[in-house]
Amino acid sequence: MGQPFLQKGLPLQPRAEWQAQLILTLPLYDGGTRTGIARERDALVVEERAALEATIRQAQSDVRTAFDSIVHADRALVAARAGAVLARRALELATLAYRAGATSNLEVIDASRASRAADTAAVQAEDVARQARLDLLAASGRFP
């Protein structure tokens, strides 16, 4: 820091002068502040790393779970479609037996109800399989 000054005084002394100061501050004792701040930052880094690792583990678990759900849903879909085909075949046989006079219309009505229920179950299984695929896309970060 520097500053000029002007003085009126003795004739042998100059009237205009400059004065400059250099101030050096050296803390001798800070009460552990810097050490405490450094430890706090280190603890925050460790905490964030642990949170990152937990998030990665959770994402991997979500992907594994979604993949297992797809496998299960696909197996259920195959079984539901096969059940629907068998239910339609049972309806055809019940209708044929009714026309031949071997059974009453109650068997046809029951077979028709069972066939519709099997078709509904197959459609629901398709929906579950599609939802499982969407869940896998979302878990892997490929679906918004």
Mean pLDDT by 10 residues, the chain (144 residues): 67 68 83 93 98 96 96 97 98 96 95 98 98 94 84
Q: Determine the Cα–Cα distance for residues 51 and 56; give it in Å rounded to an integer.
A: 9
Name the average pLDDT for the chain: 91
pLDDT value at position 100?
95
pLDDT value at position 22?
82
Q: Residue ranges of the domains in the chain?
A: 33-139
Number of helices (H), then strands (E), in the chain: 2, 2
pLDDT value at position 25?
84
Q: Determine the Cα–Cα distance for residues 109 and 14; give it in Å rounded to an integer.
A: 125
Give the residue among 126, 123, 102 at the shortest CA–CA distance from 115. Answer: 123
SS3 102: coil
pLDDT value at position 10?
66
pLDDT value at position 42?
97
Q: Determine the Cα–Cα distance for residues 45 and 51; give it in Å rounded to an integer.
A: 10
pTM here? 0.67
pLDDT value at position 71?
97
Contacts of 23 (CB under 8 A, 6+ apart): 1
pLDDT value at position 136?
94
